[in-house]
Amino acid sequence: MEQNQLRGIFGQFASGVTVITCTNADGQPHGATVTAFTAISLEPRLCQITMTRKSKACGYLGNAPFAVNILASDQVDTAMHFAGRPQRTEPRWIDGPTAPLLDGAAATISCVPWKEYDGGDHIIFIGEIVDAQSSGKDPLLFYRSTFHDLGATSSTTVWNGSQDDPHSGWFDATTSFTPIHLQPAPQTI
């Protein structure tokens, strides 16, 4: 399979857009736009980022604290800036518990290093989450090599009366079950 074909297939998966931030060797803030972010565990609190070995940020992350900045839908310029296309307006940095953060993000997750794994042409970094904040803003999405927003909210009425309603669970306290072999035979008309 050709690399471009596989990249296109990976692009079928819509994801959020993050900027991973850390400090460089001189202690200055540094960031890289990354869509390879995953929540891992609630206990211990872990998340994963995957960085290409060729990136500068990858060189700064070895056994170093970092932050995951989940970009807001109005931060396309920020995503482009940290993807290697500097914008006229520089992103605003703010101090974070473990690493510099970006102002205006939908959410931030501050991490200390937990584990690191070989991921082929990437390195997989697992961070232990020490702080997480949400601004309540809608996130920026990436799908088929293009940025998107969430769009209109879907109606929750599709769940009404459904046995897998996310608000009441699979079955409520009044649900009863009758084994199939004890159910009356269907009536023929």
Q: Which tens digits make up the pLDDT trace of 131-140?
A: 999 999 999 9
Model confidence band, residue 160 (pLDDT cutoffs 50, 70, 90): low
pLDDT at residue 88, as a whole number: 85
pLDDT at residue 4, as a whole number: 84
Please state, in angstroms and as integers, the Cα–Cα distance from residue 157 to each residue in 144, 162, 166, 172, following that order.
Answer: 30, 10, 12, 18
Q: What's the average model confidence in pLDDT over 87-102?
A: 94
DSSP 49-92: EEEETTSHHHHHHTT--EEEEE-BTT-HHHHHHHTT---SSPPP
CATH code 2.30.110.10 for 3-148: yes
**pLDDT tens profile 31-74:** 999 989 999 999 999 999 999 999 989 999 999 999 999 999 99
Domain boundaries, the chain: 3-148
Secondary structure of residue 159 in the 3-state scheme? helix
C-alpha to C-alpha distance for 76 and 142, rounded to whole angstroms: 10
For residue 164, pLDDT beyond 70: no
